[in-house]
Amino acid sequence: MDKKKVKDYMTYDVVSVDIHSTAKDVIDKIEKTHHDGFPVMNGDVVVGYIAARDLLFIEPAAKVEEVMTDNLIVADPEMDINDAARVIFRSGIQKLPVVDEKNHLLGIISNSDVIRSQIEHVSPEKVFNFMTTLKKLYGVDPSLDRATVPVKDLLPTQSKIYEDELEGRIYEIQKGLAEPIIVVRRPGKIILVDGHHRAIAAKRLGITVLDAYIIDIKEDMELGMERTAHAMNLKTLNDVQVLDYARHPLVAITHRLVKRV
């Protein structure tokens, strides 16, 4: 199952403002575009961001560089969309400029883009894609079922998850909003393919079974994902490390990348 990237959801046509503009210029642009903020450019380099709230009680003649936020979080287009979601919502920001290695503006990813990606995320299409992959790799003919599986029997294939996303999955389960997990069931094994946060959230809540898309394989063969799990010393959900929020390697701060003008 392919990971969705920031580049798949970001807006490429971005309205920006020049660092030498004034607060009035920004207000005029807000009225014209109905946007609530803009990346600030010094030539073709992103140096900050200015939002409508930054203009409160500011004189119209004030320079953008005096009121903009220059300690700005930016992202790489190859960043996983779920990691971008974590940064956006954990940081409390609405828009994340997307830049290349030289801090040139490539696009912008917003919280609404992230929501759109998560709505698409619930599609069972990825289940069928994974079944097709299994057919090609192992020559098997898997079948699909929808049922519950015991949480304690799940073999994880992911070595770490994030605490903040785990909290979100706990909330979803409590509200009855959680989507099914995806597992492969073969003789003697139930392998967790997708839904590690949901599985561990259920475990924390004392829930013993989870709704699942079950991909059944009759053949008794060890799959590649099992070998990967063994290499990471993963035997039960207890072996999955829960990490507090940590900065993603494809996220940067603008003042670390460019000299302040």
What the chain holds in terms of domains, given with CATH numbers, is 6-119 (3.10.580.10), 122-243 (3.90.1530.10)
* pTM score of the predicted model: 0.55
Q: Among 56-70, 91-105, 108-122, name the most confident range.
A: 56-70
CB atoms within 10 A of CB 107: 20
Q: Say if CB 158 and CB 228 are below 8 A apart.
A: no
pLDDT digits (tens, 9 = 90+) for 174-223: 888 778 999 999 999 999 999 999 999 999 999 999 999 999 999 999 99
CB atoms within 10 A of CB 206: 7
pLDDT digits (tens, 9 = 90+) for 134-169: 999 999 999 999 999 999 999 999 999 888 778 878
